[in-house]
Copies of this chain bind each other. A is one copy, B any other.
Amino acid sequence: MRGAWAGLAAAAALGLALAVLVWRRRPRPVREVLFFPSQPICTEALLAEAAAPGAGSRPRPCPCPLPRGDCALGRLLRRLLSARRSLELCLFAFSSPPLARAVQLLHRRGVRVRLVTDAQSMAMKGSQIGLLRHAGIQVRHDQESGYMHHKFAIVDGRMLLTGSLNWTTQAIQSNRENVLVLEDEEYVKAFLDEFERIWEEFDPRNYSFFSKDSK
């Protein structure tokens, strides 16, 4: 009987050790905050590496005078470029050229990109929305008097990027802004549900461009 107790205790200890090992090896969910303004950097190497993975050992030399290196914009780009299957974008304003290039690159790589934006904002000078549409990316927008003021992205249905940052050069380089990065099932689900609600509601077949009272 004493042997049986000892065996039980040993089995329990082994199980516990295995559980700790598995828990420790599981990659920790991403939890990050990016604060802006971000210094201007050259994003060529980052985008070239994403366009042709593996060729990173021979990066194309870029003649621009901007520094390379880590910064909030670079980290935001890296998170986006990690997408393999899907990217949902819900953005009030989108005029940043490197972010637009990253989104086009993902689209070309076969990632399913869907973009919701604000009708008034997308008509502004410098907006990248026309260019993204021209590249074949699905875009939908509001037709309301209020703004579609969200600024979030969902990568592969698993990572949420959300905050105060509009995707504009002014916001990135000059404003005080934040972006939270969360790999968190509960928050991702809440934002994905919101995205799907808006996506259906902004279906072009529902566009009327009339006030509710007109017939």
Which residues of A come within 8 Å of B, CB atoms?
1-2, 5-6, 8-9, 31, 33, 35, 37, 90, 92, 142, 144-152, 162-165, 170-171, 173-178, 180, 186-187, 190-191, 194, 198
Contact = CB atoms under 8 A, between A and B. Distances in A.
A168 B162 CA distance: 20
How many copies of this chain does the complex contain? 2
A170 B144 CA distance: 12
Contact of A164 (B35, B164, B171, B186): B164
A149 B162 contact: no
B162 A146 contact: no
A176 B174 CA distance: 25
Contacts of A187: 31, 33, 180
Q: Which of A1, A35, A144 has the most CB of B within 10 A?
A: A35
A112 to B, nearest CB: 22
A31 B186 CA distance: 9
Given A1-B2, A5-B9, A33-B191, A174 B162 contact: no
B164 A176 contact: no
